[in-house]
Amino acid sequence: MIRRIKGTNDIIEDSYVWEWVEDKLRSVSKKFGFSEIRTPIFEATELFKRGVGTDTDIVQKEMYTFEDKGGRSITLRPEGTAPVMRAFVEHSLDSRGLPQKLFYIGPMFRYEKPQAGRLRQFHQYGAELIGSSRPEADVEIIVLAVEALKALGLKEFKLKINSTGCEKCRPKYKEALKEYYKPLLPKLCDDCQIRYDRNILRLLDCKKDAQYAKSAPIILDYLCDECKEHFNRVKELLDTLGVDYEVDPTIVRGLDYYTRTVFEITSTSLGAQDALAGGGRYDHLIEELGGRTTPSVGFAMGMERVMIALEREKKLPDKPSPQVYVVAVEDEQRPRALSIAFELSKEFIVETDVMGRKMKSQFKNASKLGAHYVIIVGEEEMKSEIYTLKNMFDGSQVKLSLSEIKRRLKEEKCDSNLQWH
């Protein structure tokens, strides 16, 4: 038997949860004025090298890169921001006016060690606010991320923010970090030994070496006046809006493009992989990709982790069930049952038997599927065109014409959880 690749999932039983989550995320994004962008799942490898940064874990060890038949180096996208910015530059989206507010939902690929909440093909919902350098933009993005989680009914999460400074103040901070970590180097994990030269900031968010990060110098003491002012304004605005947050100077994020504000939302109901969402400001990514300087800010949310959190917090939606199941008493009534089912399916969620089941077993199937109503089509019903409508929840029965049945189903809305609000 050929099995699925390690670190990937088949979404079968719970596809209705995905649909529900995606509906909610699309709806919140649109309310914030964001519109959807769908970029290809593979791109030129160079995009991620330049965009995400050659010294990041993603580019160093996690990319699915291959040569296509034309000899081009292709990479399955490990994240969505660089592709969106590539599209922004390629289609001169700035000519449509700024800011451009885009969101995306789709699969991403990283060759990581699979574990609960960490996959090789996972899905992200992300949003990018392109073209504003103002703290208001950071706050709009942060609030969107928080509101998206709230719209799903999640409560057990924490927002942590930090500033990573800019090209003016960050080098001094990096120097200070190098000084601090130098004597500790032999004690650091293998990854951090390499990161010390390549990407010193990442030493701060290494889980294995977290003990050393506690007493490391903090970036907030090194911010230049502009970065300090920007960060203070972000905090003030969050306070004004009543958004709860914690300043966590160890948040540096694993991608190179960040400047100033960075943030993460962690779930208190998840285990080791507790980051539900992460993002921040990236003021130079677009010029890195050949566009005009266009300060921007965004985030992405891990959808599989959101699903686990929904399960832990008991916030999963109910499985949708048919509103009505049309039962044929004898084989002679099957064509009528089928035509009633097709007629009703223009407006309702309908099931009927296509397996040649006897009446009793059609009823069994109707209750197994959780159908709210059953329409019984027998010999008498065929003649009179008055059908028995049985409420499977309370057992009551009425005789009605098809148009009366339609009216009844419409009035009752049938508790169908397909009618998501």
Task: Write out the residues near ligand HAM by the rule CB under 6 A.
Answer: 79-81, 110, 112, 117-119, 122, 124, 126, 128, 254-255, 275-280, 282, 298-302, 304-305
Residue for token pair 């160079």? 46
Shortest-Cβ-distance residue relative to ligand HAM: 302
Query: Of the two residues 249 and 280, which places its CB atom closer to ligand HAM in the complex?
Result: 280
Q: In 241-365, at which residue ranges do the beta strands (DSSP E only) sit?
A: 246-247, 261-267, 275-282, 296-302, 324-328, 350-352
| Cα–Cα distance for residue pair 421/417, rounded to 1 Å | 9
State in angstroms the smallest separation of the CB of 232 from ligand HAM.
21
State in angstroms the smallest separation of the CB of 165 from ligand HAM.
17
* Residue 298 identity: G
User: Which residue, 378, 380, 377, is CA-closest to 405?
Assistant: 377
Query: Of the two residues 83 and 249, which places its CB atom closer to ligand HAM in the complex?
Result: 83
Structure letter (DSSP) for residue 280: E
Query: Of the two residues 7 and 153, which places its CB atom closer to ligand HAM in the complex?
Result: 7
State in angstroms the smallest separation of the CB of 72 from ligand HAM.
23
| Cα–Cα distance for residue pair 322/306, rounded to 1 Å | 27
Query: Of the two residues 79 and 353, which places its CB atom closer to ligand HAM in the complex?
Result: 79
State in angstroms the smallest separation of the CB of 193 from ligand HAM.
22
State in angstroms the smallest separation of the CB of 276 from ligand HAM.
5
Residue 56, CB-side half-sphere exposure with 13 Å CA sphere: 20
State in angstroms the smallest separation of the CB of 282 from ligand HAM.
6
| Cα–Cα distance for residue pair 294/99, rounded to 1 Å | 10
Structure letter (DSSP) for residue 174: H
User: Which residue, 265, 279, 278, is CA-closest to 309?
Assistant: 265
Query: Of the two residues 271 and 335, which places its CB atom closer to ligand HAM in the complex?
Result: 271
State in angstroms the smallest separation of the CB of 215 from ligand HAM.
25
User: Per DSSP, what are the bridge partners of residue 296?
Assistant: 130, 282
Query: Of the two residues 94 and 343, which places its CB atom closer to ligand HAM in the complex?
Result: 94
State in angstroms the smallest separation of the CB of 167 from ligand HAM.
18
State in angstroms the smallest separation of the CB of 201 from ligand HAM.
14
Structure letter (DSSP) for residue 279: E
| Cα–Cα distance for residue pair 154/251, rounded to 1 Å | 22
Query: Of the two residues 51 and 249, which places its CB atom closer to ligand HAM in the complex?
Result: 51
Q: Any residues with CB less than 8 A from the CB of 105 and at least 6 apart, and which?
A: 22, 25, 26, 36, 123, 124, 125, 126, 303
Q: Is 415 helix (H, G, I), strand (E, B) or coil?
A: helix
Q: In 346-405, at which residue ranges do the beta strands (DSSP E only) sit?
A: 350-352, 373-377, 386-391, 397-401
Label the pairing between strands 100-109 and 35-36. parallel
Query: Of the two residues 173 and 299, which places its CB atom closer to ligand HAM in the complex?
Result: 299
Residue for token pair 């159908």? 371
Q: Is 293 helix (H, G, I), strand (E, B) or coil?
A: coil
Query: Of the two residues 85 and 341, which places its CB atom closer to ligand HAM in the complex?
Result: 85
Query: Of the two residues 122 and 231, which places its CB atom closer to ligand HAM in the complex?
Result: 122
State in angstroms the smallest separation of the CB of 380 from ligand HAM.
58
User: Per DSSP, what are the bridge partners of residue 76?
Assistant: 42, 64
